[in-house]
Every structure is written in C-alpha cells, then in structure tokens.
Amino acid sequence: MSDYQTRNYTAHGGKETVIGGKLTFLPGAEVEGLEALLPSMQPPQLPAQADSVATTIAALKDDFNALLSKLRAAGLMTSADTGGDET
C-alpha cells in the first residue's frame, strides 16, 4: 500500500476538481465562467473633480487635497498619516 496521496483530483462524480498543487496556464489556454466568480477588474469611477481655477498656492493646495480625498474615498489610495504638516 502506498502512502502517496494525489494533490489534484476530481471528486463528487466529477462536479468538483481539487487543486492542491500549482496550477499553470500555458499560452492559448482558456478558462470559461471565471468572470462570474471574480470581481470586476475595472477600477471604480471617481466622482468628478472640477478643473482648478486657483490663483494662489493656498487655493491650489485645497484643490489638490480635494482630489486626494476623492482618491481615498474610492479606495484607490490609503489614508496618510495626518499627524504632521509637511509643507
């Protein structure tokens, strides 16, 4: 009797395939039905950011910070440490 157990096998009458090892897709391979299982790879659409009409550095900073806020709210950027003022 062998102690070997296969890492990849089909179970439940062929309704389930278990992959316990590495799964390699070669060029030209196709996978069907995966779109329904994975989230969309498209990044979220951000709310509109008006073009800056700033005429001072302070106003430009405010416009830039508004853009950063929208990026963070959309999950495209992590929150920064706001403990210090780095100007």
**Residue spans per domain, the chain:** 50-76
Mean pLDDT confidence for 7-31? 90
Can you tell me whether residue 61 is helix, strand or coil?
helix
Opening angle at CA 86, ends 84 and 87, nearest 5: 140
pLDDT recorded at residue 69: 92
Taking alpha carbons only, the member of 65, 66, 74 closest to residue 45 is: 74
pLDDT recorded at residue 1: 57
Tokens of 8: 């990849």
Q: Calculate the alpha carbon distances from 81 to 14, 58, 78, 85 in Å.
A: 52, 20, 10, 10
In this predicted model, what pLDDT tens digit does every residue of 41-63 receive, in sequence order? 777 788 888 999 999 999 999 99
